[in-house]
């Protein structure tokens, strides 16, 4: 997998700044005040920093922005990076600064003169998250990435606070890799194998094969993959870091490729459906993060892995299937397949683990993009307490989330003439009727959220902390939720 850059935290060595190679970064607050590191560099460069802080360009920079001074006099470094940042930045300002440094660094070594600036650990996290490349399938020789060194007043203290953030970055990278991977590489077998390998981190990993799923009665999930040569699976990942209490459950949709099945999608843009396992990718990344940072909580992550293909054996519009719960479903549209997968996995999670709460994630509907674009995931819930806690966690981590309505009127749209329900309610309110469908597989006493991440899992242009492609949205928010609400 792609691994985040290793960042070193060392004591401040102002004399060593003059001979540092590659790039040197300094911080200047909005009024142009220079800290010790910036003053040293200002002296070495014959007051070039002070002149820059008096410029119109510096005035127009926002908090977290980075300006580049090439081949600065008095420094061995080829680049001087001037970061405009308050001495006590917000978490998001600090992460933005780190991300901008990663973009400006290129492949050079980078020495960051952070001194005693607050949130140096958050700056490092932003740098690590933005310094992501998915290039494993490119054959051109790849240049080595330069080393990153933070000079800080208390290196051991900063390194300690940065350690759990490094676990977050690795979880985000794991999610991005899974979501970016093409479907001929990330088959259901390969996906399951990558998750099984996480037993080395202390996770308990169990793979349920098709025979197991048939015995459990998962007809809803199995119908989705019956047209594919790739076997359908459910992978269960358990992290038992808490006491004897019941776990919190995370459930992810893992459609490794979605043609739409017999209800075939248009050819244009179908290549993007490699990301239709994004929900399972997020669950996997969260579980990796929890294991790496040794979270003091009990969490179980379940992912349903299928491929939705058209063939002579594929499920047809009009077919009726029976879920693990026992409810029958009339399949009106085979491209509304994610909810069929989630229904069985959610029911299994509740039956087996009796969770204290459950959140499912899925790139479920195009309708959520119409409603919220690429800025927010849709949040649907039967619990004000859980949804409020999640939205707060997402806001803290800078990941957009917006609660959407639910109600009986929407539920009525799923009535079927021949079965207990249809799998789709028509064109109107598509993301809401999808949530109403899923709610039928949530037990009354289980606090639950459904996160429709179709607009945020993968995007065409870069975001604040990620290049174009998979974002890893949700790993940080869910890790925060677990840390704030479920750790002992």
pLDDT along the chain (488 residues), means of 10: 94 95 97 94 97 96 97 96 96 98 95 96 98 94 90 97 97 98 98 98 98 98 98 98 96 98 97 98 98 98 99 98 98 98 99 98 98 98 98 98 97 97 96 98 98 98 97 98 95
Strands 357-362 and 448-452: parallel
Listed in sequence order, the residues at least 6 apart from 450 whose beta carbon sits closer than 8 Å to its beta carbon are: 359, 360, 362, 364, 379, 380, 381, 435, 438, 439
How much is the pLDDT for 9? Answer: 98
Listed in sequence order, the residues at least 6 apart from 406 whose beta carbon sits closer than 8 Å to its beta carbon are: 380, 381, 382, 432, 435, 436, 439
How much is the pLDDT for 141? Answer: 84
Backbone angles phi, psi at 275, to 5 degrees: -90, 10
Specify which residues 299 forms β-bridges with.
239, 248
Residue tagged 């900063």 (tokens):
158
Domain architecture of the chain: domains with CATH: 7-157 (3.40.220.10), 169-485 (3.40.630.10)
How much is the pLDDT for 145? Answer: 85
Strands 458-459 and 448-452: unpaired
362 touches 258 (CB < 8 A): no
> Which of 40, 176, 339, 480 is the catalytic position?
339
- 0.85 exceeded by the pTM? yes
> Which of 10, 39, 145, 265 is the catalytic position?
265
How much is the pLDDT for 1? Answer: 85
How much is the pLDDT for 142? Answer: 83
The question of whether 294 is a catalytic residue gets the answer no
Task: Decide: helix, strand or coil at residue 385.
Answer: helix
How much is the pLDDT for 39? Answer: 96
51 is written with which tokens?
């002149």
d(C-alpha 96, C-alpha 80), whole Å: 18
* Strand order across the beta sheet in which 66-70 lies: 7-11, 148-152, 110-115, 23-28, 79-84, 66-70
The question of whether 46 is a catalytic residue gets the answer no
């Amino acid at each position: 997998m792609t691994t985040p850059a290793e960042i070193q935290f060392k004591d401040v060595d102002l004399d060593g700044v003059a001979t540092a190679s590659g790039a040197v970064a300094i911080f200047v607050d909005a009024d142009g005040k220079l800290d010790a590191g910036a003053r040293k560099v200002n002296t070495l460069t014959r007051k070039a920093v002070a002149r820059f802080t008096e410029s119109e360009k510096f005035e127009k920079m926002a908090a977290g922005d980075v300006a580049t001074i090439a081949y600065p006099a008095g420094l061995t470094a080829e680049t001087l990076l001037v970061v405009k940042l308050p001495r006590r930045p917000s978490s998001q300002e600090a992460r933005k600064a780190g991300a901008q440094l990663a973009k400006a660094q290129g492949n050079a070594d980078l020495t960051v003169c952070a001194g005693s600036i607050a949130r140096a650990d958050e700056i490092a996290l932003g740098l690590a998250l933005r310094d992501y490349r998915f290039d494993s399938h490119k054959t051109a020789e790849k240049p080595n990435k330069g080393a990153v060194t933070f000079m800080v007043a208390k290196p051991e203290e900063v390194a300690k606070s940065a350690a759990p953030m490094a676990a977050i970055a690795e979880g985000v990278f794991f999610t991005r890799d899974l979501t970016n991977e093409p479907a001929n590489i990330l088959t259901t077998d390969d996906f399951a194998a990558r998750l099984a390998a996480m037993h080395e981190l202390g996770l308990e990993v169990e793979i349920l094969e098709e025979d197991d799923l048939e015995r459990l009665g998962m007809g809803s999930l199995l119908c989705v993959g019956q047209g594919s040569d790739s076997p359908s699976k459910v992978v269960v990942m358990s992290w038992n870091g808490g006491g004897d209490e019941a776990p919190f459950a995370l459930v992810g949709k893992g459609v490794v490729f979605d043609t739409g099945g017999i209800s075939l999608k248009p050819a244009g843009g179908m290549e993007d459906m490699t990301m239709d396992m994004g929900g399972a990718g997020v669950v996997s990344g969260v579980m990796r993060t929890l294991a790496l940072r040794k979270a003091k909580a009990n969490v179980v992550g379940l992912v349903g892995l299928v491929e939705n293909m058209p063939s002579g054996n594929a499920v047809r519009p009009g077919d009726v299937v029976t879920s693990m719960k026992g409810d029958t479903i009339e399949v009106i549209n085979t491209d509304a397949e994610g909810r069929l997968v989630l229904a069985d996995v959610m029911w299994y999670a509740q039956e087996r683990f009796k969770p204290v709460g459950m959140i499912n994630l899925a790139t479920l509907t195009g309708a959520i993009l119409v409603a919220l674009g690429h800025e927010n995931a849709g949040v649907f819930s039967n619990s004000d307490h859980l949804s409020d806690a999640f939205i707060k966690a997402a806001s803290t981590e800078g990941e957009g989330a917006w609660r959407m309505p639910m109600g009986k009127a929407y539920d009525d749209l799923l009535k079927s003439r021949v079965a207990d329900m249809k799998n789709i309610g028509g064109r109107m309110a598509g993301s809401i009727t999808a949530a109403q469908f899923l709610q039928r597989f949530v037990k009354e006493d289980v606090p639950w959220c459904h996160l429709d991440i179709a607009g945020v899992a993968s995007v065409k242009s870069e975001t604040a902390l990620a290049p174009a492609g998979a974002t890893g949205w949700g790993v940080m928010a869910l890790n925060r939720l677990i840390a704030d609400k479920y750790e002992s």
